[in-house]
Structure 1
């Protein structure tokens, strides 16, 4: 049975390993691990792209992607019409039919939206989330997070570039890397950058950036009223106590630009 990534727990990018004081230090292994880390750190853009593509392909093969004639796919294609690329990176969109409320974007421009998120979001709100996720791609947050996971894997599992050719990944490694793409968490600065870029991206493509504010407000309300939680709410807000300030700042920007707020979703 294929593994469903969405229902697994998020893994930590950094692992602390404690060893007894009496353990013998193996200099050869330490040098080897350090060499692999350097190799991972100096992966070329082409090798990075190959790893990202392999991970995205693995996710698409191991999760239920809605077909072209599915209402979810039809809705997403209609909403993202005209959103073809960002900073020269071609965008592609797919829906995973899963129970978690989530969405993510990868360094190669692959944007994946979960059906359960679509169920609770209006069109404007959904576009707001997509714009925000695209902001992470444009600002290279997604790429840097993926590189960090590769480096961690290089130290832990020996993923490295050998002779200029990217080492092949095992199924287990692909699962771990793919999960890191889904559950990537960003700093307050990165979230702000993604907000700002997403706002301008949506505006420049004739989409209403108020949807980003409304989506944030909806998540905040869900969490406050029902104690609702999801991986997306957690990664977006749990470590960001200034959520109200983010909403306020984006609201002021929409107002200053004279953009009308769309009607509230039911």
Structure 2
């Protein structure tokens, strides 16, 4: 992988950038950028277009599971019925890496890492994906990419002597990518995405207690070998234990709470039954 995403990526949406042409942004947006206007227009369409270019680059430089891979088959079975949510069209793939991660982009792209699928069952996985969908539906991913674009692009736009900015250099795009990856959603945004996940599970008839269970898994990870790293990563996010407690309170209030028992996890592709052919024996008739 060119960019490695490690642990609890479900707590924020991360975008990577490669060779992206800035013309995908509207002329109005670029005109404002060239003048160094801090409040420039950045529409949902602009964010989605930039995200689409970035996710295409990431897919090209990461080991994406083929449709026949067990991970892809499982994700399609679990998530395939939810390709649209709240007016957002979603697409999803699996990255065959052992890191524990999932992220969503402003264009509706959802990427799930094999490492996450190895430790969470179907309901827990849906809870995490529901959280990521929440970031897209709530425009958190759009705001994050806008903030990264403004931070990096306006630095040069404000000092531009030509007064016009037609394209961004690869270096500028690299700066935007770094800023985007380093960005964190606010605690309020995380809490709202958590609520979206719970309501997503409830509305679709899934076990809402998987939301609490998924956060308990993260809590256990934070207390294990990766505790120091987890503490740093989660410094700007609500505590996983508290988030689990909040999900439990919602389930209890709704009269739906029970201790969640993790189900079997199977990421293997089904084995096709071998077909055998029986040769017909022929006997020659005596003349």
TM-score band, normalised by shorter chain:
0.7 to 0.9
1:17 aligns with none
Alpha-carbon distance in 1 for matches of 2:5, 2:86 = 32
Cα RMSD after superposing both structures: 3.2
Compute the displacement of 1:187 (Å).
Answer: 1.3
1:6 aligns with 4
Compute the displacement of 1:180 (Å).
Answer: 5.2
Stretch moving more, 64-73 or 38-47: 38-47
Encode CA deviations 1:25-48: one digit per residue, 9 max, x unaligned: xxxxxxx99744427822344333
SS of the aligned residue for 1:6 comes to coil
Which structure has the greater CA radius of gyration?
Answer: 2
1:257 aligns with 254
CA gap of 1:140–1:158, structure 2 versus 1, over 3 A, is same
2:243 aligns with 246
Stretch moving more, 169-178 or 69-78: 169-178
SS of the aligned residue for 2:201 comes to helix
Question: What does 1:17-56 correspond to in 2, within 5 Å?
Answer: 35-38=34-37, 41-56=40-55
1:107 aligns with 2:113: no
SS of the aligned residue for 1:64 comes to coil
1:72 aligns with 71
Contact 1:141-1:190 at 8 Å conserved across structures? yes
TM-score, structure 1 length as denominator? 0.75
Compute the displacement of 1:108 (Å).
Answer: 1.3
CA gap of 1:167–1:117, structure 2 versus 1, over 3 A, is farther
CA gap of 1:251–1:88, structure 2 versus 1, over 3 A, is same
SS of the aligned residue for 2:82 comes to coil
Contact 1:222-1:228 at 8 Å conserved across structures? yes
SS of the aligned residue for 2:92 comes to strand
Contact 1:136-1:142 at 8 Å conserved across structures? yes
Question: What does 1:178-193 correspond to in 2, within 5 Å?
Answer: 178=177, 184-193=183-192
Question: What does 1:120-159 correspond to in 2, within 5 Å?
Answer: 120-158=119-157
1:196 aligns with 2:191: no
SS of the aligned residue for 2:223 comes to helix
Stretch moving more, 187-196 or 171-180: 171-180
Question: What does 1:73-88 correspond to in 2, within 5 Å?
Answer: 73-88=72-87
Flag structure 2 segments of 5+ consecutive residues without an equivalent. Answer: 10-30, 159-164, 265-287
Q: Decide which structure has greater helix share.
A: 1
CA gap of 1:98–1:44, structure 2 versus 1, over 3 A, is same
Flag structure 1 segments of 5+ consecutive residues without an equivalent. Answer: 11-31, 160-165
SS of the aligned residue for 2:132 comes to helix
Compute the displacement of 1:113 (Å).
Answer: 0.6
| Count of residues paired in the alignment | 235
